[in-house]
Amino acid sequence: MRKLKNSELNRLDIPSFKKAAKTPLIVVLDNVRSLNNIGSVFRTADSFLIEKIYLCGITAQPPHKDIHKTALGATESVDWVYKSSTHEAVEELKRNKTVIVSIEQADKAVMLHDFVPEKNTKYALIFGNEVKGVQQSIIDLSDYCVEIPQYGTKHSLNISVSVGIVVWDFLKKISL
């Protein structure tokens, strides 16, 4: 077994990425405060050909050196838009027939492994603030609330880890 060189990975260049068919997923960041988390989300979105990222509220926007540090150029490939409120973003997405899924621990949440997304349907996955999570008013607007099962002592995962887990799970399920 030999580790592959970057030149052997056959990754898309930015113009090819922009033209490529995208995964029908939109990531919405609801007041995410860590610039490193934001950069990590961009990198994950690039990796899985995510359609777009909505940066909402206090969520910082590129260009910023701390976002760039973890995004490693993904802010150039992945489409993104800033909205001053997550509510505004969700209302726009709903008007465009996007299914809204808040990733949060809630009383009627569906566990991620039990959630079955429909093929040929566009989903917006909402990830919340590192301390407060997804706003209740946004959960109220959501079509679903999905929870990542956890079995240890901590109450939550880092948002960048959560994005990776959920996007990968959705991608697997809608690609079958």
Taking only the tens place, the pLDDT of each residue in 45-93 is: 999 999 999 999 999 999 999 999 999 999 999 999 999 999 999 999 9
Separation of alpha carbons 104 and 148, rounded Å? 8
For residue 74, what pLDDT is reported?
A: 97
Residue 7 lies in a domain: no
Mean pLDDT, all residues of the chain: 97
Residue 6 lies in a domain: no
Residue 35 lies in a domain: yes
Query: In this model, does residue 22 exceed pLDDT 70?
Result: yes
State the average pLDDT over residues 98-121.
Answer: 97
2-19 confidence digits (pLDDT tens): 999 999 999 999 999 999
The structural domain count of the chain equals 1
Query: In this model, does residue 176 exceed pLDDT 90?
Result: no
Residue 4 lies in a domain: no
State the average pLDDT over residues 137-162.
Answer: 97
Q: Which domain holds residue 83?
A: 12-148+157-175
Residue 2 lies in a domain: no
Q: What is the pTM of this model?
A: 0.97
Residue 122 lies in a domain: yes
Whichever domain contains 68, its CATH number is 3.40.1280.10
Residue 30 lies in a domain: yes
